[in-house]
Amino acid sequence: MTPNADEAAHSARVLQLIAQRISAAGGFLGFEAFMDLALYAPGLGYYSAGSAKLGAAGDFTTAPEMSDLFARCVARQCAQVLEGIPGGSILELGAGTGRMAVALLRELAALARLPQHYDILEVSADLAERQRERIAALPEALRSRVRWLQQLPESGLHGVILANEVLDALPCRRFLVRAARPLVIEELGVRLDAAGALAWATRAADASLTAAVQELNTQLPGALIPGYTSEVCLLADPWITSLAAVLTQGVMLLFDYGLPRAQYYHPERGSGTLTCHFKHRAHFDPLINVGVQDLTAWVDFTRVALAGHAAGLDVLGFCTQAGFLLGTGIDELLAQQHSPVERARLNGEARRLLMPGEMGEVFKLLALGRGVGTPLMSFKHQDLRDSLC
């Protein structure tokens, strides 16, 4: 789909900034830096500028936007954690339109397990405004618990950290395998062609990227072959470390699409997982619609689990979205509905959340925690943590 005039004008401004950065960097800009500018450049990046991103008017739909059943199941898991942490709070990272926060608070109120505070850390001004509008419609007893943060608290969080589709938007580095024995890696980035347009470029990988790819290569069932292209998100490690420093006691619930390392870097996935979303259409060219489309890469959940372990957290479980929903009682929620019309509607939503061909298998939950002794209900029916090894 072609951008409209306003979108094209905005994209041109983002491209101008990126062109300046390419020139300042000597003609080559690594993909991580490019992705960071395209998504987060102040006032210009996709998540920093004021444009609709979620829902019918946006570019993609997340599970919480699809159905409140998802948030109600998340609330059930939060309630279990908060039961063991009196006075505990919830911190949601990237709260979308606020729909999940609203449904979650309503469900927690019904379960008599409201958090002391429900904090939201949001980088998008557009989404923060939409969140405030939704939260304003809640009863005072619920909306008074919601606070918006400008940065992570320094420490002392007892409770739950929620991150739904946040990890996939962390800027990643892209690499190309030139030779297998010994392993020779090149970094993928962007340059300007003769006409001043963005084009792909490569250069010798630096020490950090080379080390990261060498490490994962030794852990794979088979070595990476020449021509193999993929991503590695080195920012996931410090991101998890920063969250671990905040969490004194409680659980991180990390929902996203991704795979364990051995499946992520499978030989048949030789072009990587980088995906673009523009007006509900997925494509694979990040060099167009720059600044007005979403850029994502699947999550290497092995990397995230290892980062959590290194930061002193326990891996509490790993499962598919379907496994999570069944473990937290989506069937019970459906059975509570007595209206045939409403039951049919919710059953349709549940199928999209659960079915392997929809979101049920592609999306996963990884739970990391500290000071939590009770097994989480999310993994009652499925725990795939052994696949992360």
- So what's the pLDDT on residue 50? 61
Q: Write the single-letter amino acid at 112.
A: A
On the question of pLDDT at 332 being above 90, the answer is: yes
Beta strand segments in the chain, E = 29-30, 89-93, 118-121, 146-149, 157-164, 173-179, 184-192, 198-204, 229-232, 247-259, 275-278, 281-283, 294-296, 299-300, 314-320, 363-370
pLDDT tens by residue, 268-324:
999 999 999 998 899 999 999 999 999 999 999 999 999 999 999 999 999 999 999
On the question of pLDDT at 56 being above 60, the answer is: no
Could you tell me the CA-to-CA distances from 204 to 171, 183, 226, 381 in Å, in that order? 19, 12, 15, 46
- So what's the pLDDT on residue 357? 82
- So what's the pLDDT on residue 229? 98
Average model confidence (pLDDT) across the chain? 95
- So what's the pLDDT on residue 59? 60
Task: Provide CB contacts within 8 A for 67, sequence distance 6+.
Answer: 346, 349, 350, 352, 353
**Average pLDDT of the residues in 226-250:** 98
**Average pLDDT of the residues in 358-366:** 95
**Average pLDDT of the residues in 327-334:** 96
Q: How far, in Å, CA of 353 to CA of 358, rounded?
A: 7
pLDDT tens by residue, 104-125:
999 999 999 999 999 999 988 8
User: For domain 1-389, which architecture applies?
Assistant: 3-Layer(aba) Sandwich (3.40)
Ranges of each domain in the chain: 1-389
Predicted model pTM: 0.95
DSSP string, 93-125: ES-TTSHHHHHHHHHHHHTT---S-EEEE-S-H
**Average pLDDT of the residues in 207-233:** 96
On the question of pLDDT at 384 being above 90, the answer is: yes
- So what's the pLDDT on residue 51? 57
Asked whether the beta carbons of 157 and 246 are under 8 A apart, the reply is yes
Asked whether the beta carbons of 45 and 53 are under 8 A apart, the reply is no
